[in-house]
Structure 1
Amino acid sequence: MILVTGATGTIGSELLRQLVARGIPAVGMTRGELPGFVQADFEHPDSLRKAIDGVGTVFLLSAPGPRVPEHDQAMVAVTVGSSVGKIVKLSAIGTTDEKMPGNWHAAGESAVRESGLAWTILRPAGFASNVLRWLPAIRAGQPIPNQTGEGEHAFVDPRDVAAVAAAALVSGDHDGQTYTLTGPELLSVPDQVAVMSDILGQALQVVDVPLDVYAEQLRAAGLDEGFVSVAVRGAALVRDGGERTMTKDVEQVLGRPAGTFRAWVESNRAAFA
């Protein structure tokens, strides 16, 4: 049995869908009570112990934020002496790179590697699906906010991330590996908007958002200062051309090219209606 944490999010939900479609026994873990899911909370070790009872493999996905190290370490700690034999951890691109802000995943990666279990670590780039956050602006006929200027990034299709995770969960071929998962092309926000304009048949516009304005917007949304700092420094890094990593790891694992941003938008055209 595979336990999928973060099971209602972008990657967790897609991973569960793919595993179930392949007939692979899997169950999702959520903090809230949902039918068909295991209820557990990273803040409560006893609930984690119950969640992993009878589980052989864990997909470890902690929600982004300053608590990631504690949550990752909590899950690793309860696996000691349990039925769990493998952990596949979802990390983030650039983890352990000194220029990257936050590095919330570094401690969790270390805990997984030192757990004594089989492990695989996945470091995805920003998701192609993150453009869904632009929906309110698109529907209101407003320009799309751009915090990263002309900075480019190799956005990855979340379906590819889930497919690589599934491969690592069900096969020992990827044990002990750390994969950096990216798309096959470098795109700026204006590039993404141009693709979307073409596919959606709309003349979408872009407006530059200075980083100080971005910080105030995040604070107004109720985010704590630690999250604001990491988000703003991350945007600055991309804006300055500091995150242009592109790999072939998706293709290496899946035996096919990584999906393009255009393909993702075409597949999800209905979401923008």
Structure 2
Amino acid sequence: MILITGATGTIGSDVVRLLAASGEQVRAMVRTPAKAATLPAGVEVVRADFTDPTSLVTAAEGATTVFLLTAPGPQVARHDTAMLTAARSAGVRKVVKLSAIGTGDTSAAEVGNWHLPGEQAVRSSGLAWTVLRPSSFASNALRWADAIRAGAPVPNPTGTGAQGVIDPRDVAEVAARALTSADHDGHVHTLTGPELLSVPDMAAQLGRVLGRAIDTVDLPLERYREQLVAAGLAPAFVETAVSGARLVARGGNAVVTGDVERVLGRPARTFAAWAQDHRAAFTG
């Protein structure tokens, strides 16, 4: 039995589907069971919350492996520790943690610092472990959908800074491999796409898919901060987003690795392929 936390999110739901399709016993941990209605038939659904230790133990009972995916934020360390404590209590033997690129690098974005205590706890847990550190998701481009449908330029707070943008489906496939094979035990995989791309690069590729030019407009970081505050984001998220944009703009996340290909035996998907598969989101 493999327990998937964050089972209804972008990565977690794909991991559930992949494992279920391959015949694995899968248990999806959710806070709101109604949200699990789209998960495959035969997947066991259990209600639990990272702030409720008893519910975590119940969720982990009978599981041999846990996919540890906690929502980003300052609470990541507490939630990771709570799940690991429950997993050990329930007799779980292995954990695969979804972390973030740059974790442990003092010059990286704050999101990496959110994950560092959890990574350290995983390594010292006494369980078999794998850590996955993905770069920026291609699906972040969905934030541009309203602007693109309206014919407006895409706001760009990162200038010409480029990243190894990764298709979330590749992250899910690597996670599924790590969860079902001992080959990745004790490894940290940094997951990126096959090329470095800036926001203008992605807009150009998306434009080719849509058959029209998509412009970008530079967004000063102070204005970016103001927009995030106006959108109601908590201060910790606002500052993390702004510092992350600053890091990317100066080239601090210009990283491409071959870890996806080494794990999956094929090249990582391109952003252009992701854009083609999600074309409808930008056309209405």
TM-score after normalising by structure 2: 0.94
Distance 1:71 1:55 in 2: 18
Aligned to 2:177: 167
Unaligned regions of 5+ residues in structure 1, if any? Answer: none
Kept in 1: contact 2:146–2:282 (CA 8 A): no
Distance 1:47 1:218 in 2: 34
Once the two structures are TM-superposed, the CA of residue 180 in structure 1 deviates from its matched residue by 0.2
Once the two structures are TM-superposed, the CA of residue 3 in structure 1 deviates from its matched residue by 0.8
Aligned to 1:256: 266
User: What is the CA deviation profile of residues 179-230 of structure 1, one whole-angstrom value per residue up to 9, with x for unaligned ones?
Assistant: 0000010000000000000011122111111000111111111111111111
Once the two structures are TM-superposed, the CA of residue 167 in structure 1 deviates from its matched residue by 0.4
Distance 1:38 1:134 in 2: 34
Kept in 1: contact 2:158–2:248 (CA 8 A): yes
Distance 2:17 2:87 in 1: 25
Kept in 1: contact 2:157–2:224 (CA 8 A): yes
Per mean C-alpha deviation after superposition, the further-off stretch among 143-152 and 19-28 is 19-28
User: What is the CA deviation profile of residues 62-109 of structure 1, one whole-angstrom value per residue up to 9, with x for unaligned ones?
Assistant: 001111111111101112232310000000000000101321000000
Kept in 1: contact 2:158–2:249 (CA 8 A): yes
Aligned to 1:20: 20
SS in 2 for 1:178: strand
Q: Which of 223, 226, 244 is matched with 1:213 structurally?
A: 223
Distance 1:266 1:135 in 2: 14
SS in 2 for 1:15: helix
Distance 1:94 1:10 in 2: 21
Q: Which of 84, 93, 108 is matched with 1:85 structurally?
A: 93
Kindly report which structure 2 residues correspond to 1:221-232, keeping only aligned pairs within 5 A, or say none. 221-232=231-242
SS in 2 for 1:105: helix
How many pairs does the alignment contain? 273
Distance 2:236 2:93 in 1: 34
SS in 1 for 2:114: coil
The amino acid of 1:44's aligned partner reads D
User: What is the CA deviation profile of residues 105-162 of structure 1, one whole-angstrom value per residue up to 9, with x for unaligned ones?
Assistant: 0000001110000000000001111101111111222111111110000001111100
The amino acid of 1:99's aligned partner reads S
Unaligned regions of 5+ residues in structure 2, if any? Answer: 38-43
The amino acid of 1:212's aligned partner reads E
SS in 2 for 1:155: coil
Distance 2:87 2:169 in 1: 28
SS in 2 for 1:41: coil
Aligned to 1:7: 7
SS in 2 for 1:37: strand
Identity of aligned pairs, percent? 58
Aligned to 2:41: none
Aligned to 2:72: 64
Aligned-residue RMSD, C-alpha: 1.0
Distance 2:140 2:27 in 1: 25
Kindly report which structure 2 residues correspond to 1:142-221, keeping only aligned pairs within 5 A, or say none. 142-221=152-231
- Runs (4+) of structure 1 exceeding 6 A deviation are none
